[in-house]
Amino acid sequence: MKASLNHPSNNSYRNGVEILSIGTELLLGNIVNTNAQWISQQLSLLGLNHFRQSTVGDNSERIGSLVQEISTRSNLLITTGGLGPTPDDLTTEAIAKSFNFSLYERKYLWEQIKQKLSNSKLKDSSSLRKQCFFPKDAQIINNPRGTAPGMIWEPIKGFTILTFPGVPSELKEMWKETAFEFIQNKFSNGFVFFSNTLKFSGIGESTISEKIDNLLKLRNPTVAPYANLGEVKLRITAKAKNASEAKNIIKPVKEKLTEEFSKFIFGENDDNLPSVLIKELKKRKETLVFAESCTGGLLSSSITSISGSSKVFKGSIIAYSNALKKSLLNISEDQLKRYGAVSEEVAEAMSINAKEKMSADWAISISGIAGPNGGSQEKPVGLVYISIAGPTNHITNIKKIFNSTRNRMEIQTLSVNVCLNSLRLILLSNST
C-alpha cells in the first residue's frame, strides 16, 4: 500500500473496493454510519474484496485529497453523502476538482427534479439546480426516491467512482436499481457470496462455539457466530460460482448444525421468535393471550409488532399493580399475601385465570422484578416467574434468575425471550 502511495502512477497496485462516507455529522457523532454497514453487506454478497473504509467531513479539500489517495491503491470507490442541494454538499464538485475536471449541467435532470417537487419547494431553485451538474463523461445513477442523482465515473483508467446520497432509503434504491448490476458485471470476478443464518434460543454463544470448534475453522463455507440479547445466530457463508452452488456448499454444514442443536434452532434468516410462534399457532388454529406484570407490555408488543398477529393473538391483561392483579385476573388477597406477587403460585394463577377470562387456547403469564429497585435478599432483581397454561389444562412453570448486572430493559427483553421460546418448545413437544 505504501509503495503505491509513493508512486501514484503505478496502476498495477490498484486492487479492491473502498467505501468513503462523507459528512461532518458523522465526525461529530450525530448519526451512526449505517450506510457503511449496508454497503459492506452488499459488497460481501458480490464477493468483492473490501479492505478499508474511510469517513471524512464536508470539506472540499479533504474530500479531494482522500479520493486522490484512494485512487492510487483501489480500483473501485463507493461514496455516500454530500450530493444534496445545501452549500455543504460538496462531493461531486470536490471529486471532479481533485482530478482537474469541470462540471456541466444535464438539462434533462433539471426537468426531472422539477417534476418531482411541488412549486413551493422549487422556489429556491439555484441550490437544487446544483444537483444537475456532473463531469462530462459520468454516467448518471437515477434516484427514484429523491432529487439527488449519483454518478458512475472513471476519472482515470482503472479507477471507478460511484456516488450516492447519504439518505439510506435513497442509497438502497439506487443501489438495487443501478449499481448492483453494474458492479457485478464490471468488478465481480465470477464469484458470489451466499449466506444462510440459523437462529438459536435457549443456548449461549460460548456453549455453541465450544461444540462446533471444528466448523468455526472451515474456510468454505465459513461459520460465524453472533450474539444478541437472548438470541444467538450462526451465519454460514459460501463462496461459489452462483447461488445454487453456494447452497450446495452450505447444505451439509447446515444439516450437521440442525442435527446437533435441533430444538435450540428456532428459525433462519428473517425469522424471529414472535413470527415463528405466530406461524405455528396459525397452523394449529390456536389462540394466545398474556397476563403481564414485570414486562409491562413488552411481551404483547413483541407479538403485535408482527403483521398478521391478530390471527392468533387476542389480547392481554397488563396487571402492573396488585389491585389490577386482583380485579382483572382474580388473584386473591390471600394469594398475594401468602406468596407475594412475584411467586410461582401467583404466576400460575395468572396464567390459568388469563386463559379462562380471555377464552384462549394458550396463556402466558409473567411476574418478576425488573429493577433497578424493588429487589430483596429473598427476591432479588432479575427473579422472574413464568407460567404457561395450554389447551389440555397442562401448566408449565418456569423460574429464572437473570444476572444482577442486567439492567431493567435487558431483564424485560430476556424475560420476553424466555416466554416465547418456552411456548415454542411446548408446541414442538406436543405437535403430532
Report the DSSP beta bridge partners of residue 155. Answer: none
Q: Is 36 in the site for its own copies (CB under 8 A)?
A: yes
Contacts of 50 (CB under 8 A, 6+ apart): 16, 17, 18, 19, 40, 43, 44
User: How far apart are the C-alpha atoms of 374 and 366, rounded to whole Å?
Assistant: 16
Q: Which of 22, 23, 43, 78 binds its own copies (CB under 8 A)?
A: 43
Stretch that binds its own copies, among 147-155, 247-255, 259-267, 305-313 (CB under 8 A): 305-313
Q: Is the distance from CB of 122 to CB of 114 less than 8 angstroms?
A: yes
| Shortest distance (Å) from residue 164 CB to its own copies | 15
Site for its own copies in 349-378 (CB under 8 A): 357-359, 370-374
With binding defined as CB under 8 A, does residue 423 bind its own copies?
no
Q: Is the dihedral of CA 375, 379, 384, 390 positive or negative?
A: negative
Selected from 114, 172, 235, 256, the binder of its own copies by CB under 8 A is 235
Binding mask 306-335 for its own copies (x = CB under 8 A): -xxxx--xxxxxxxxx-xx--xx-------
Q: How far is CA 349 from CA 274, 327, 346, 352, in A?
A: 24, 13, 5, 5
CB of 105 to its own copies, least distance (A): 26
**Which part of the chain contacts its own copies (CB under 8 A), choosing from 154-162, 262-270, 297-305, 330-338?**
297-305
Q: Give CA angle at 14 (12, 20), nearest 5°.
A: 170
Q: Please identify, using beta-carbon distances, which residue of 138 and 370 lies nearer to its own copies.
A: 370
Size of the site for its own copies (CB under 8 A): 81
**C-beta closer to its own copies: residue 263 or 326:** 326
Name the H helices within 212-242. Answer: 213-216
156 is a contact residue toward its own copies (CB under 8 A): no
Is 305 a binding residue for its own copies by CB under 8 A? The answer is yes
For the CA atoms of 308, 310, 315, 320, what is the dihedral angle to 10 degrees?
Answer: 20
Tell which positions 75-114 bind its own copies, by CB under 8 A.
Answer: none
φ/ψ (deg, to 5) at 290: -130, 155
